[in-house]
Structure 1
Amino acid sequence: MASSLSQLREMTTVVADTGDVDAIRALKPIDCTTNPSIILKALQSPAFEALVTKEIEAGKAAGKSPEDIAFALTIGVGTELAGLVPGKVSTEVDANLSFNTEASVAKARALVKAYEENGVGREKIFIKLASTWEGIRAAEILQGEGIECNLTLLFCMAQAVACADAGASLISPFVGRITDFYAARDGKTFGPDEDPGVLSVRSIYDYYKSNGINTIVMGASFRNIGQVKALAGCDRLTISPALLEELDAEDAPLERVLAPENASGVAKIPMSEADFRWALNADEMATEKLSGGIRQFDADHQKLLKLIAERLA
C-alpha cells in the first residue's frame, strides 16, 4: 500500500512548512512557506552560511543597516528555495507593518522587485500578510496589481470571509494554535474529529466551496498527523518535515474528508470593517492568537536583526 503521504498527495497539494533545504530536497513539496521564525532558523543552518557571510560582508562594506541586510538575506533564502520547488515560495511582510496598509503594500512591492532582480518572477512568489483588517486591505491592492497573496495568522471565519471578499489568492488558517488555546483553557485533549482547529478549517472550506470562492484554503500549524489526516482533501496543507516523514512512514488507508461536491450550502456572510472588528473582538481565541502570532513573528525578526548586528561587529 502507498504511504499516507503519497495518498494525501493524490487529493491535496502538499506544502513544506520549512526553510530547510535538505528537507525540501528530500520531501519534494510543491510549494514551501516561510515566516520570520523559519527564516531565522534557516539562516542559522550550515546550508545558508555562505549566503549569510556574503550578504553581511557586502552589507558591511556598503554601510548597510541590519534591516537592509535582513531584507537581502530573506530574498537570498527565498531565491534558493524557489529553485527547489516547482510551485511558489511564500515571503512574509514584516510583522510590525500588520496594521499599516500603505507600508505593507510598499514592502510587498519591494520584495517582488528584489526577487525579480534575482531572476525570480512574481509568478513564483506569494506575499504573506497577517490577516488583520489592514493586511487584508493590502492584499486587495496587491492582488489588483497581479501580486498573489497568502493571508496568514487566520483563526476565525470573519478573517476568512474578509480575505475572500478581498480576492486573496490563498489563506493559511492555523490548526494547532487554535487547538493549543482550547486545550489549555479546557484542560482536555481532542480527537481529530472534535479538534477545534480541524473544525475551524473544515467550516472555512465548506463556506468557500458553498459560495464558489476561488481563494485556496491551506491548512497550517499542525501538531500531529491526526490533524493532517482529518483535513485530507483540503486544497493545500503546509506540513512540517517531521510530520511529513511520519506520514511517509505510515501505510494505513487514508480516507478523503473534504471535497468541493460535499459543501453544505452555507449562505454568504456580509463583512464590513465594523462587522470584522466586532467578530474578531468577540472571539477571545482569535484575538489572542492573532496578536500573539504577530508579536512572535516580530520577536523573531528582532532576533534576526540582533544576529546580524553581532556579525557586523
Structure 2
Amino acid sequence: MKFFIDTANLQQIQEAQDLGVLDGVTTNPSLMAKEGISGEQNVIDHYKAICAIVDGDVSAEVISTTYPEMIAEGEKLAALHPRIVVKVPIIKDGIKAIKYFSSKGIKTNCTLVFSAGQALLAAKAGATYVSPFIGRLDDISVNGLDLIAEIREIYDNYGYETQILAASVRHSAHILGCAKIGADVMTGPISAIVSLLKHPLTDSGLAQFLEDHRKVSQLNSN
C-alpha cells in the first residue's frame, strides 16, 4: 500500500519524505489556507515546492465547479509538473472533466467520494485515483472501512485500474484496516504514519536493552 501525506505543510512533507516511506502528497484549498497560502501565484509556487520534495504523485485540487472551468484550471495545474494529479470533485461536471483528462493522459484524483456508486462512476470515467473519505463517514457513525471493502470488490469484479486512495485517514487503525482490505493508497497526517511505530513492548524492550548495555559497560570499565 502506498503512503501519501495529506497536508500542505512543507516541513511535515519533508519529515515524511525523510522517513523513507512517502509515496505522494494530497492537498486541497482548506489545507493551503491552513498554511496561509493564498493568491493564485502563491498557490502555484507552493505546489512546485511540494513537487521538489517528493518523488511521487501530488494531488492539486481544482476549485471550479463547471466543466469548462475545470478543464482550464486542471490543464494549468497539470502543466506545472509531471507529478501533478488533478483533483476533481465527484459531481456531474467533475465526471465529465475526469473523462476528458483521462483522454489527454492527465492523471486525476476523484475526491469527496462517500458511496460505492460514486466510486464506480469515477472508475468508468477513467480516474487514476478515487478518494473515499473514511474518517468523515466514521464521524456520522458509518463504518468508512466498509466503503473501502465495497469499492475493492466492485473494482476487482471488473478489473478497473483506478486506485483506491483511502482519504480522511485519522489513525493507525484506519491505516491497518485499509491495508487488510486492499486499499491501494492511504492519505493522512504525519501523526497517523508515525503512530505505526508505536508499541509498548517495543518501548520497554528497548529500555531494557539500553539498561543491560549500560550495566555491561560499567562492569567492563571497572
Contact 2:169 2:188 in 1 (8 A): yes
Q: Secondary structure at the match of 1:223?
A: coil
Greater fraction of residues in strand: 2
Q: What are the Cα deviations for residues 198-249 of structure 1, in whole angstroms up to 9, with x where unaligned?
A: 1001110121122110001110102332122111142110011121121233
Query: Aligned match of 1:211 in 158, 165, 176?
Result: 158
What's the offset of the Cα at 1:111? 2.1
Counterpart selection for 2:188 from 239, 247, 252: 239
The code of the aligned residue for 1:105 comes to I
Matched positions, count: 195
Q: Would you say the 8 A contact 2:138–2:144 is kept in 1? A: yes
Structure 1's consecutive aligned runs of 4 or more residues displaced over 4 angstroms after TM superposition are: none
Q: Take 2:200 and 2:71, find their aligned partners in 1: how far apart are those partners?
A: 45
The equivalent residue for 1:175 is 134
Compared CA separation, residues 237 and 250, structure 1 to 2 (3 A): farther
Q: Quick check: 2:78–2:85 contact (8 Å CA) kept in 1?
A: no
Q: How does 1:222-237 map to 2 (within 5 A)?
A: 222-232=169-179, 233-237=182-186
Q: Does 1:92 align with 2:85?
A: no
For the residues of structure 2 that align with 1:170 and 1:75, how far apart are their CA atoms?
22
Which residue number corresponds to residue 211 of structure 2?
none
Paired with 2:45 and 2:29, the residues of 1 have a C-alpha distance of: 14
Partner amino acid, structure 1, of 2:190: P
Residue 81 of structure 1 is matched in structure 2 by 50
TM-score between both structures, scaled by the size of structure 1: 0.59
- Matched ranges for 1:21-40 at <5 A: 21-28=10-17, 29-40=22-33
Structure whose CA Rg is larger: 2
The 5 A counterparts of 1:41-120 are: 41-43=34-36, 70-94=39-63, 97-98=64-65, 100-113=66-79, 115=80, 120=81
CA distance in 2, matches of 1:110, 1:19: 19
* Structure-2 separation of matches of 1:148 and 1:70: 24
Instruction: Show the counterpart of 2:122.
Output: 163
* Residue aligned with 1:218, SS: strand
Q: CA deviation at 1:251?
A: 8.2
**What residue number does 1:63 align with?**
none
| Paired residue secondary structure (2:54) | coil
- Aligned residue number for residue 259 of structure 1: none
Structure 2 Cα separation of the partners of residues 250 and 82 of structure 1:
33
CA distance in 2, matches of 1:18, 1:142: 24
Taking only aligned residues, the RMSD between alpha carbons, in angstroms, comes to: 1.7
Indicate the residue corresponding to 2:95 in structure 1: 136
Is the partner of 2:168 in helix, strand or coil?
coil
Tell me the distance in 1 between the aligned counterparts of 2:8 and 2:169: 16
Deviation per CA, 1:125-164: give whole Å up to 9, x if none.
1000101121111111011111111000000011111101
Taking a change above 3 Å as real, the CA distance of residues 84 and 196 of structure 1, as seen in their structure-2 partners, is: same
Q: Secondary structure at the match of 2:178?
A: coil
- Higher RCO by CA contacts (8 Å cutoff, separation 6 or greater): 1
Residue-by-residue CA offset, 1:51-98 (whole Å, 9 max, x unaligned):
xxxxxxxxxxxxxxxxxx72211111110010111111110100xx22
Structure-2 separation of matches of 1:210 and 1:84: 37
Query: Please, which runs of 5 or more residues in structure 2 have no aligned partner?
Result: 202-222
Q: 1:249 is paired with a residue of what secondary structure?
A: coil
Pick from 4, 10, 24 the counterpart of residue 15 of structure 1: 4
Paired letter, 1:224 = H
Give distance in 2, aligned partners of 1:147 and 1:217: 18
Write the distance in 1 (CA, Å) between the matches of 2:36 and 2:197.
27
